[in-house]
Homo-oligomer: A and B are copies of this chain.
């Protein structure tokens, strides 16, 4: 069922039920037996993706780490997810497009994660480990940077970065250094 996340690579509109069914070795009507409409299928895929994302985030935050250690754990998790399941980040990209079909659906399910992340940032600021600023806006910057570095493959090509494993490792280290500089007070 999760294989249906072909939506994540090609997008909703560009993926027909016929193509999906052929890829699965069944008839389109079998899909429509399980899901009343294409839209419903898409929403089910979104729910499934949301679960995977929440699960990954929980796994990266289960060790009660603080400061940059916690941030680093999340970075590693996201970058690994981007390699292992690129359709996941692709679906996020598709659905978080302004004016998307089911943006709210994913947003609602993922909102608690964002809330926890913002709380974490606020706590770290209180503890003096992170530079003080608006937690929500800082979270937006962090999200953009991490997800962008994880998923902007075409931009990386345009910049001239190869897509070898060695570069990927370097990229992760550079991202950590970048965010450490941005987050940790200079003093």
Stretch touching chain B among A25-33, A35-43, A63-71, A173-181: A173-181
Contact at B140–A152, with CB atoms within 8 Å?
yes
Residue of B nearest to A153 (CB): B98
- Closest beta carbon of chain B to A17's beta carbon, Å: 14
Contact at A174–B13, with CB atoms within 8 Å?
no
A159-187, CB < 8 A from B: 159-161, 170-171, 174-175, 177-179, 181-183, 186
Residue of B nearest to A172 (CB): B137
Identical chains in the assembly: 2
- The 8 A CB mask of A132-155 against B (1 = contact, 0 = none) is 011011111101111111011111
Which residue, of A93, A143, A144, A145, has the highest number of chain B Cβ atoms within 10 A? A144
Residue of B nearest to A160 (CB): B136
Contact at B152–A143, with CB atoms within 8 Å?
yes
Does A118 make an interface contact (CB < 8 A)?
yes
- Closest beta carbon of chain B to A170's beta carbon, Å: 7
* Inter-chain contacts of A141 with B (CB < 8 A): 145, 148-149, 174-175, 178
Per the bound structure, the CA–CA distance linking A86 and B98 in Å amounts to 9
Does A74 make an interface contact (CB < 8 A)?
no
Other than the given A9-B99, A86-B98, A140-B152, 5 more pairs (CB < 8 A) read A90-B98, A111-B160, A134-B170, A140-B159, A141-B145
